[in-house]
């Protein structure tokens, strides 16, 4: 990793070498830069490549009654991505950023085959706009994001399955002086296409999370998911989880 700052210009260059016993060696890299053209304003740009071999589940999972099974003949993914962004920062009003991106993928791994089996999509394209906002005030933290995207299987001209054109999320956290916290999350997904032209409905989820630090190294964590008990299908024929609660106990030495 090379990281250099010169006045208002910030430059990063990174490289990575993957050595896979089955798929061989692959070098990937990224170049990213940011330029502060006015106080609080920065324009950013990046270009890079990526490589991902299929994991064990994608290769060998037996699936569920023959559905969503792995495929031992999968090839690794390779991709190139470009992004152009604009960022605004203010000490009082937080940070707002917007980024246009495009990713071209060869051999995209997706559960799009017969019975949703894992296959490689020869060529795919993903492009869109991401908008993010963050604000910290006293013990409160607000984070929000919106994604508008267009995806395409270039071999068929169809949208990639189960990828919504719009999705958004908002998270609000309250931190307390003793290290405890309370947070609320909202997530919304637009409708998505699945096999056979089936349109999966949009849905939204509201989640709760909290933590209580009752000793210097001990804390209890609580998480409630889908508090409204909304029915939704992440994939056709597979119901999303209803209202769920999780409690955990964590020990953090030196915390």
Looking only at the bridges linking them, the beta strands covering 77-90 and 2-6 are: unpaired
**Could you give the CA distance from residue 67 to residue 61 in angstroms, rounded to a whole number?**
10
> How high is the pLDDT of residue 195?
83
> How high is the pLDDT of residue 19?
87
> How high is the pLDDT of residue 65?
81
**Could you give the CA distance from residue 84 to residue 157 in angstroms, rounded to a whole number?**
25
Q: Which residues contact 229 (CB under 8 A, 6 or more apart)?
A: 242, 243
Task: Kindly report, residue by residue over 163-175, the tens digit of the pLDDT.
Answer: 999 999 999 999 9
**Could you give the CA distance from residue 148 to residue 190 in angstroms, rounded to a whole number?**
10
> How high is the pLDDT of residue 255?
56
**Could you give the CA distance from residue 48 to residue 67 in angstroms, rounded to a whole number?**
34
Task: Kindly report, residue by residue over 178-216, the tens digit of the pLDDT.
Answer: 889 999 999 999 999 988 788 999 999 999 999 998 888
> How high is the pLDDT of residue 151?
96
Q: Which of the residues in the chain have pLDDT under 50?
A: none
> How high is the pLDDT of residue 236?
84
C-alpha 220, offset from chain centre = 27
């Amino acid at each position: 990793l090379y990281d250099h700052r010169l006045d208002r210009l910030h430059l990063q260059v990174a490289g990575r070498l993957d050595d896979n016993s089955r798929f061989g060696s692959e070098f990937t890299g990224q170049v990213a830069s940011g330029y502060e053209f006015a106080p609080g304003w920065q324009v950013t740009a990046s270009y890079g490549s990526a490589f991902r071999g299929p994991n064990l589940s994608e290769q060998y999972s037996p699936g569920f009654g023959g559905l969503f099974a792995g495929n031992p003949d999968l090839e690794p993914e390779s991709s190139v991505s470009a992004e152009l962004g604009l960022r605004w920062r203010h000490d009082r009003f937080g940070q707002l950023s917007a980024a246009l991106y495009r990713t071209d993928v060869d051999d995209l791994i997706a559960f799009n085959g017969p019975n949703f089996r894992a296959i490689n999509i020869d060529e795919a394209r993903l492009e869109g706009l991401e908008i993010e906002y963050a604000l910290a005030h006293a013990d409160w933290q607000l984070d929000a994001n919106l994604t508008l995207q267009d995806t395409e299987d270039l071999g068929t001209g169809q949208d990639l399955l189960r990828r919504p054109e719009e999705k958004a999320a908002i998270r609000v956290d309250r931190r307390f002086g003793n290290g405890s916290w309370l947070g609320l999350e909202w997530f919304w997904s637009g409708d998505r296409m699945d096999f056979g032209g089936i349109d999966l409905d949009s849905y939204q989820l509201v989640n709760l999370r909290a933590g209580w630090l009752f000793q210097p190294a001990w804390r209890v964590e609580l998480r409630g998911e889908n508090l409204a008990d909304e029915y939704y299908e992440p994939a056709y024929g597979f119901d999303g989880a209803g209202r769920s609660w999780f409690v955990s106990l964590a020990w953090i030495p030196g915390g």
